[in-house]
Amino acid sequence: MKQKSKKTIFYCQQCGYESTKWLGQCPACKEWNTFVEEVVDKKSISSSGKINTSVKRETQTYVLNEIKIDEQDRMMTGMKELDRVLGGGIVKGSLTLIGGDPGIGKSTLLLQVCRNLSSQGENVLYVSGEESPQQIKIRADRIGKFTNELKLFCETNLSTIRATIEKEKPSVVIIDSIQTMYDENVTSTPGSVSQVREATAVLMQIAKGMNISMFIVGHVTKEGVVAGPRVLEHMVDTVLYFEGDRHESYRILRGVKNRFGSTNEIGVFEMRQMGLVEVENPSEFMLSGKPKDASGSVVTCSIEGTRPILLEIQALVCHSFFNNPRRTATGLDYNRVNLLMAVIEKRLGVRLSDCDAYVNIAGGAKLNEPGVDLGIVIAVLSSHLDIAVDDGIVCFGEVGLSGEIRSVNSVEQRINEAKKLGFKTCIVPEVSKRKLIESKDINIIGVKNLQDVLQLLSSRK
């Protein structure tokens, strides 16, 4: 009797864990209801996991101290914000994954990169599996003029794409998107766990083997992470995420993984008719439209990678008529806001348990840094006590559970950013003030605990 060549495998959509049967919870990533069933052909399993003894490979070892790094190995994209997030430009042979919500501007950004690189004489290949050449042409006409160095190729078959890359020999390749690509050797449908993983492996071999810089566009799930197995992010060199509301004009490009530079760097863009425009001064952009003499509003400074950014924290605290007060945090960690409100009530005796509280980062940015704790506390107290904070004040610092104000990193950089935008007073932790040199341009006020903060607010009433 002929043995069957196909079998059924269950894959975890989050981490790629394989199982012979369906499981409610993944043993690897502990996520629930993430297993999907796929049919795998035993004859068509990729040979990447097999060792071919008939092929003899030359092996070479390197002495670490003798390896030379050429700075010219990076290509400038012509967009300073993108170059910063990439760590100083595009590294040859690198594989970069860009994720974001639909319509956020991923394809627009990459098309602008293609225009800049092609104008520099670089041979660029744009591979699209979702749009026709006419659709891409409509977007390109809105962005600007392109040179003949940019080639379009609409295909989803990886074998055909590989042959085209070997023929054209481009220096940069754009894959839009990875979920539409498929390998003939994998029997599952495009976009499945097996196809995404195998397609990424093939593209990685092309990028490393031919020394081609490659950008991959990835769809995201409703949780905001790249769709497909988690192993996808481990395979690539750089992972970038586009953040922001597609109905707003601003966009934030955040680096969450980078083998060639620092992580958590951000680039700020503004969506206009001609495409994405760089925002050279994000602090001024984020603070535009800040209300004057309004309670519950304060400016804080956050460090994103190596860049300080001034942001406005808004809070609205009002009496609740329900048994369970409502708490909302937009752009901030919800649990962190609740914790800080509990510290305020315990250490200052300010009753907030019967109040609704709404805390928001103006402009739609997202912060997850302890240095903005002091800004949240001042905004909540300002709204609850109905005391307006002066427009020339900026604050930062971490708040502990005992109500103490703890030091944060990059204090001088934060103060210098406040000076550039004309702020006259900076509220910092007392331990940080001792290490600073007094400046005539800005008045630095040190606070030790929440009692000092409340006294400072009360004195301005």
CA dihedral 109, 110, 112, 113 (to 10 degrees): 120
| CA 157 – CA 180 distance, rounded (Å) | 9
In the annotated binding site, the residues are 100-107
Find the angle CA(128)-CA(130)-CA(135) to the nearest 5 degrees: 80
Flag whether pLDDT at 259 surpasses 70: yes
More confident residue, 60 or 109: 109
pLDDT tens digit sequence for 311-366 = 999 999 999 988 889 999 998 999 999 999 999 999 999 999 999 999 999 877 88
Residue 121 main-chain phi, psi, to 5 deg: 95, 5
- The reported pLDDT for the residue numbered 439 is 77
Flag whether pLDDT at 2 surpasses 80: no
What confidence tier does 56 reach under pLDDT thresholds 50, 70, 90? Answer: very low
pLDDT tens digit sequence for 7-54 = 788 878 777 778 888 989 988 878 888 888 877 665 544 444 443 434
Q: Mean of the pLDDT values across residues 245-272?
A: 83
pLDDT tens digit sequence for 418-456 = 998 899 999 999 999 888 877 778 999 999 999 999 999
Tokens representing 76 are 């400038």
Q: Mean of the pLDDT values across residues 83-96?
A: 91
Flag whether pLDDT at 254 surpasses 60: yes
| CA 155 – CA 294 distance, rounded (Å) | 55
| CA 37 – CA 210 distance, rounded (Å) | 35
Closest CA to 285 of 263, 265, 260, 266: 266
Q: Mean of the pLDDT values across residues 196-218?
A: 91
pLDDT-above-70 percentage for the chain: 90
Closest CA to 220 of 124, 322, 98: 98
Closest CA to 363 of 437, 255, 285: 285
Mean pLDDT (the chain, rounded): 86
Q: Is-cis flag, bond preceding 177, omega within 30?
A: yes
- The reported pLDDT for the residue numbered 45 is 44
What is the chain's length? 461
- The reported pLDDT for the residue numbered 187 is 76
Q: Mean of the pLDDT values across residues 204-230?
A: 79
Backbone region of residue 446 per phi and psi (left: phi > 0; alpha: psi in -120 to 50; beta: other values)? beta
What confidence tier does 134 reach under pLDDT thresholds 50, 70, 90? Answer: very high
Q: Which residue has the tokens 């990459």?
A: 110
In the annotated binding site for ATP, the residues are 100-107
Contact criterion met (CB below 8 Å) for 72 and 37: no
| CA 15 – CA 27 distance, rounded (Å) | 10
When mean pLDDT is compared across 57-66, 157-166, 193-202, 310-319, the lowest value belongs to 57-66
pTM of the predicted structure, to 2 decimals: 0.75
